[in-house]
A and B are shown apart, each in its own frame.
Chain A
């Protein structure tokens, strides 16, 4: 028997045997797909956790600021008709009646922004003194309300570029602008309020 004859017989005999690969193929597919499923679940869980964390860490805009922005849009940007006080002494008297210290309005007057008009409005069922200031042709709304709650004191300015707010121990102030300068006005206001806030703290 030559090598070729021998090889041919061996090859034919071995290749004639049936080879059932279904069990192995199924097992391999299971092993390959299982880690994929686990990885997909892990990915989904990580994504959900990231979204939750982002939502938690994302700067929250207080509802009162959102209401102020909506009010500014209606009354200043769209110019819906309202009755405004333009006389400064009348505005001071209105502020005094609402418990907003006249010193706060005076302090805002030192920031380079000019008080143009004022009126009372409701934001989230709370009465605010709505003051409109102008500077360089832009209009800014400032919403002031004396604080009655026991919330913690903070004078840091927060919010978006066209929306800023801060609390003193006695006053809540919300600043809204059409553009992106609300924070600048709010910071100027916060600085102007500082001596008054210190005086209030020392006096109390």
Chain B
């Protein structure tokens, strides 16, 4: 299934556990399948799927993961991966979402704004704050790396 891995990757960082993430990704794919007539050929299918994912996420009022002891940190393989996973989970959900969309999934700020249905200025400011927070969280790691 195209884009399912990307959807599940983002869903894992929006929800509190793997089961919730899989439920969200599954619901997204089912909603897309049922509403495929609403998809306009030639437009960005990946962006369309992410928009469905975020709509489903907000509609279900899922509780975002806010603790640093989240499951993705547990599943990370290296010390740096653990630090980054924890730093991501410590971010407010809005900043984390924008960072995942723009930095990890490669959407432009304009595309992310359309997907998240917020002004592009909001996306840019959230992205800037997210980077700032991450920089603070990862500073000890950076010092270690540069020592």
Contacts and interface: CB of A to CB of B under 8 A. Distances in A.
Nearest to B100: A14
B104 A6 contact: no
A13 B142 contact: no
A38 interface: no
A16 interface: yes
Nearest to A23: B22
Interface stretch (B49-57, B70-78, B110-118): B70-78
Contact of B8 (A15, A21, A31): A21
A17 B26 CA distance: 19
A24 B81 CA distance: 25
B104 A11 contact: yes
Interface of B: 1, 4-5, 8-9, 12-13, 22, 25-26, 29-30, 33, 72, 75-77, 80-81, 84-85, 88, 99-100, 103-104, 131, 134-135, 138, 142
A10 B84 contact: yes
Contact of B30 (A14, A21, A23, A28): A28
Interface size class of A (residues with CB under 8 A): 20 to 34
A146 B84 CA distance: 102
Nearest to A8: B103
Contact of A9 (B25, B80, B100): B80
A151 interface: no
A25 interface: yes
Contacts of B100: 14
Nearest to A29: B1
A71 B8 CA distance: 77
Interface of A: 1, 3, 6-7, 9-11, 13-17, 19, 21, 23-25, 27-28, 31-32
Given A14-B84, A28-B30, 19 more contacts: A3-B131, A6-B138, A7-B103, A9-B80, A9-B84, A10-B103, A10-B104, A13-B76, A13-B80, A13-B81, A14-B9, A14-B13, A16-B77, A17-B76, A21-B5, A27-B22, A27-B26, A28-B33, A32-B33
Nearest to B85: A13
A17 B100 CA distance: 14
B1 A15 contact: no
B84 A31 contact: no
B72 to A, nearest CB: 7
B134 A10 contact: yes
Contacts of A21: 1, 4-5, 8, 25
9 contacts: A9-B138, A15-B104, A17-B81, A19-B5, A24-B4, A24-B25, A25-B1, A25-B4, A31-B30
